[in-house]
Chains A and B, each alone.
Chain A
Amino acid sequence: MNNADRILRAYAKFSGAKLAVKSIDWTWRTITASVPQLHYEGSTVTEPAQILNFLRKQRFNADYELTAKQGADTMAYIALLEEKLRPALLHTFWVDAENYVNLTRPWFTSHSPFPLNFFVPGRQASLALSRILLTKAESPLLNITEVEGKIYSEAKECLNLLSHRLGNFHFFFGDTPTSLDAFVFGHIAPLIKAPLPSGQLQKHLNQLDNLCQFCNTILKNYFTDASAEKRMDCSLTAPHDPVDANLQKLTQLVNKESNLIEKMDDNLRSSPQHRHETKPSARASERNSPLLSKH
């Protein structure tokens, strides 16, 4: 599961789009094509930002009630996340030796078919490392260890800024979630929930109560069955069990997806944003059933 997946699934839940999540194998596609992909009536869209635009055009819009200024704020905060938090996340999961060897690599190798499991995680790790070095390392800091300090301090500052912005509210813009909430959730959920052996960023995040609360609220309200299984995962200490439990969770998710979405649909229909356009959205959600492929 990567960030883009989480962001999109969260956004889909918020806006009530009926997405059938198809769990695909880590086949050769991941080398040539990028996941996640949205297939709809023959056309394919990739990249989270473009998929969000696509969903908006199809009238599944969680940002309907935002003012123009709030829309601009959304863009700015997403840029902040990408620039400050993403390198540290990449480092935590892919470059930090302990985490990579004990958590990330076993999880990915168990999900990839032979022979991809030998080189796909390594490739992702080297991509992450090169991205960090190229964008953050300047000439006196060519060593990764020196860049580490810088990116972690920037990430902690970014988390503090998000915490200030969120304050005591449930979501970033009032009482209903928007695309910014989906983005933030997508980035911090793995940090909160993954059982990382060495996670200084995780410790810092746990101190920011309102962000943890935000994440748990979203998990509870929009990913009810999944969250119960995730809590089960996190309490297990042996390295093998999270992997198996994740596999089971994934299969169960795929099976239960349609039930969840129907429940969600009902919840969201009663929320204010749908009262504005009840008729069109009802027609839209009956007519459309886009498929979301993910690994």
Chain B
Amino acid sequence: MSLAAEAFVSQIAAAEPWPEKATLYQPLKEDQILLSDSASSLAVQTFLRMCGLPVQVSCCANAEYMSPSGKVPFIHVGNQVVSELGPIVQFIKAKGHSLSDGLDDVQRAEMKAYMELVNNMLLTAELYIQWCDDYTATEISRPRYSSPYSWPLNHILAYQKQWEVQRKMNAIGWSGKSLEQVYEDVSQCCQALSQRLGTQPYFFNKQPTELDALVFGHLFTILTTQLTNDELAEKVKSYTNLLSFCHRIEHTYFKEHDRESQSGSPHHYKGSLP
């Protein structure tokens, strides 16, 4: 969104309370959604649960095309549509709910820096593995991405998406990396997160913030998604405090809610955490 539009939206957002029927849109859970989209979607869902805001998850095959920025997930609240975690956090802040109000300037700077680290390393690595690794792309990504469509549209869309992602990787210099280097980068990123978390329950001690939601979204999805090999999950599993962090958030925000209703389960491919 342009800056003027953003300011306008947040003014309108501040005026209305959170409605009962807010909806979050993502691609089809069983057949279509891919690792990176699933991670982003889970991060947003976790953030909304941490704020205590109810939302219904709706799965549509064309979620990506409905989204205002072309990225999933996006939420439909009242008569506004907002996509991606960053703008959603700002939108919710305009409504008066925020998880990071208690942080001072230095801590907020750190939080933003770590969120960029996760986006830069983990999300890019996920995209790389899905679309630039030939084996994974052929076996998993292309069939899944194009499953709701019939021939020849499925081929066209899948190859178009792959080409787009490869162009982006080229622009940021990741196309020259080998798969081992990417796994190494993921490992370093997890090490940094693990060192920052230490023995605390959340990244900024007692209270969860959007950083916790983002990290949980990515790590949980990596741990529970079945890819062509388990190396990515193994890298994450080697950091025990990150594993217990994921368990803790799953238990606190998802298990209790699941006991009340059946919606919003984060288990996508393989069931629960190891």
Chain A residues within CB distance 8 Å of chain B: 68-69, 71-73, 75-77, 79-80, 82-84, 130-131, 134-135, 138-141, 146, 149-150, 153, 161-162, 164-165, 167
Contact = CB atoms under 8 A, between A and B. Distances in A.
A83 to B, nearest CB: 5
A149 B2 contact: yes
Nearest to A131: B171
Interface centre among A79, A131, A134, A162 (most CB of B within 10 A): A79
16 contacts: A68-B195, A69-B195, A76-B114, A76-B117, A77-B113, A83-B119, A138-B71, A139-B69, A140-B68, A141-B2, A150-B2, A161-B109, A161-B112, A164-B109, A165-B106, A165-B110
Contacts of B110: 73, 76, 165
Given A83-B120, A162-B109, A149 B3 contact: yes
Nearest to A47: B173
Contacts of A130: 171
A69 B105 contact: no
A137 to B, nearest CB: 10
B251 interface: no
A72 B116 contact: no
B116 A135 contact: no
A146 B5 CA distance: 12
Contacts of A140: 1, 68-69
A141 B4 CA distance: 13
B60 interface: no
Contacts, number: 81
Contact of A80 (B2, B112, B171, B193): B112
Contacts of A139: 68-70
B113 A76 contact: yes
Task: Give the interface residue-count category, chain B.
Answer: 20 to 34
Contacts of B1: 140
B196 A80 contact: no
B272 interface: no
A79 B189 CA distance: 10
B195 A131 contact: no
Interface in B59-105: 68-71, 105
Interface in B184-209: 188-189, 191-193, 195-196, 198
A210 B198 CA distance: 30
Contacts of A164: 105-106, 108-109
B9 interface: no
Nearest to A74: B192
A76 B116 contact: yes
A135 B69 CA distance: 13
Nearest to B120: A79
Contacts of B2: 141, 146, 149-150
A162 B266 CA distance: 36
A73 B69 contact: no
Interface centre among A76, A77, A134, A146 (most CB of B within 10 A): A76
Interface of B: 1-3, 68-71, 105-106, 108-110, 112-114, 116-117, 119-121, 167-168, 171-172, 188-189, 191-193, 195-196, 198
User: What are the 3 tightest A-B residue pairs by CB atom distance, in nearest-first order?
Assistant: A72-B192, A161-B109, A76-B113
B195 A71 contact: yes
A164 B110 CA distance: 10
A77 B106 CA distance: 12
Contact of B3 (A79, A150, A167): A150
A72 B113 contact: no
A150 B87 CA distance: 13
A84 B116 contact: yes
B113 A134 contact: no
A167 B106 contact: yes
A131 B173 CA distance: 10
A83 B116 contact: yes
Given A72-B192, A75-B189, A165-B106, A131 B112 contact: no
A134 B193 contact: no
Contact of A75 (B69, B168, B188): B188
A3 to B, nearest CB: 13
A80 B105 contact: no
Contacts of B69: 138-140
A80 B191 contact: no
A164 B168 CA distance: 32
A137 B106 CA distance: 29
Given A79-B121, A84-B116, A140-B69, A69 B171 contact: no
Nearest to B68: A140
A79 B116 contact: yes
A76 B192 contact: yes
Contacts of B198: 69
Given A149-B3, A153-B3, A73 B196 contact: yes
B241 to A, nearest CB: 12
Given A161-B113, A162-B109, A135 B171 contact: yes
B117 A75 contact: yes
A72 B172 contact: no
Given A69-B195, A72-B196, A140-B68, A135 B172 contact: yes
A165 B109 contact: yes
A31 to B, nearest CB: 15
A79 B113 contact: yes
